[in-house]
Chain A
Amino acid sequence: MITTSDLRKVYRAQGRPGSTTEIAALDGVDLHVRQGEVYGVVGTSGAGKSTLIRCVNLLERPTSGSVSVDGRELTALSPAELRATRRSIGMVFQHFNLLARRTVAENVELPLELTGLSRRERVAKARELLELVGLADKAKAYPAQLSGGQKQRVGIARALAGDPKVLLSDEATSALDPETTRSILQLLRDLNHQLGLTVLLITHEMDVIKSVCDSAALMRAGRVVESGTLHELLERPGSELARELFPLGEGEPLQGSTLLDITFQGEATAQPFISQLARTYNVDVSIIGAAVETLGGRQVGRMRVSLPGSFDENVVPIGYLREQGLQVEVAA
Chain B
Amino acid sequence: MGWNDMQPLLVQATQETVWMVGLATLATVLVGLPLGLLLALTRRGGLLQNAGVNKLFGTVVNVGRSLPFVILIVAIIPFTRWVTGTTLGWQAATVPLAVGAIPFFARLVETAVADVDGGLVEAVQAMGGGTWAVVRKALLPEALPALVSALTTTVIALVGYSAMAGTVGGGGLGTLAINYGYMRFETTFMWVIAAELVVLVTLVQLVGEGLARGLDHKRPTTHRTFRRRVTPQISAAPKAAETPAREPELTGSVQR
Interface residues of A (CB under 8 A from B): 57, 59, 79, 83-87, 89-91, 93, 95, 97-102, 110-111, 113-115, 142-145, 158-159, 161-162, 168
For residue B248, give the distance in angstroms from its CB to the closest CB of chain A: 33
A83 near B142 with CB under 8 A, answer no
Interface of A: prevailing SS: mixed
Q: A100-B217, A114-B129 are in contact. List 12 more A-B contacts (CB 8 A).
A: A83-B130, A86-B127, A93-B123, A97-B119, A99-B120, A101-B142, A101-B145, A101-B215, A114-B127, A114-B137, A144-B219, A159-B127
For the complex of A and B, the 9 pairs showing the least CB-CB separation, nearest first, are A87-B128, A97-B123, A97-B119, A111-B127, A86-B128, A91-B126, A142-B217, A83-B128, A100-B218
- Contact A84:B128 (CB < 8 A) given known A99-B138, A101-B142, A144-B219: yes
Closest to A144 in B: B220
Question: Which residue of chain A lies nearest to B215 when distances are taken between CB atoms in the complex?
Answer: A101
How far is A77 from B123 in the complex, measured between Cα atoms in Å?
A: 20
Chain B residues positioned under 8 Å from A142 (CB to CB)? 217
Judged by a CB distance under 8 angstroms, whether B115 is at the interface is no
Residues of chain B in range 129-156 having any CB-CB distance to chain A below 8 Å = 129-130, 133, 137-138, 141-142, 144-145
Using known A-B contacts A97-B117, A100-B142, A101-B142, determine if residue A57 contacts B217 with beta carbons closer than 8 Å: no
Pairwise interchain contact A93-B119, C-beta atoms closer than 8 A: yes
Cα distance A79–B129 when bound, in Å?
10
Return the chain B residue nearest A83 by Cβ: B128
Q: Are B126 and A89 in contact (CB under 8 A)?
A: yes
**A99-B141, A142-B217 as given contacts; A93 in contact with B122, CB under 8 Å:** yes
A91-B122 Cα distance, complex, nearest whole Å:
10
Which residues of A sit under 8 angstroms from B122, Cβ to Cβ?
A: 59, 93, 97
Q: How large is the interface on B (under 10, 10 to 19, 20 to 34, 35 or more residues)?
A: 20 to 34
Most buried by A among B117, B137, B217, B219: B217
> Is B124 an interface position by the 8 A CB rule?
yes
Known contacts A97-B119, A99-B120: A144-B217 contact under CB 8 Å? yes
At the interface, yes or no: B125 with Cβ under 8 Å from chain A?
A: yes
Distance from B223 Cβ to chain A, minimum over Cβ atoms (Å):
13
The residues of B that contact A111 with a CB separation of less than 8 Å are 127-128
Given the known interface contacts A97-B117, A97-B120, the answer about A57 and B218 at a Cβ–Cβ threshold of 8 Å is no
Partner of A101, one of B127, B128, B144: B144
Bound Cα distance from A114 to B126, whole angstroms: 11
Query: Which residue, A85, A113, A114, has most C-beta atoms of chain B within 10 A?
Result: A114
Contact partner, A144, options B123, B145, B218, Cβ 8 Å: B218
Minimum distance in angstroms from B245 CB to a CB of chain A: 43
A115 contact set on B, CB distance < 8 A: 128
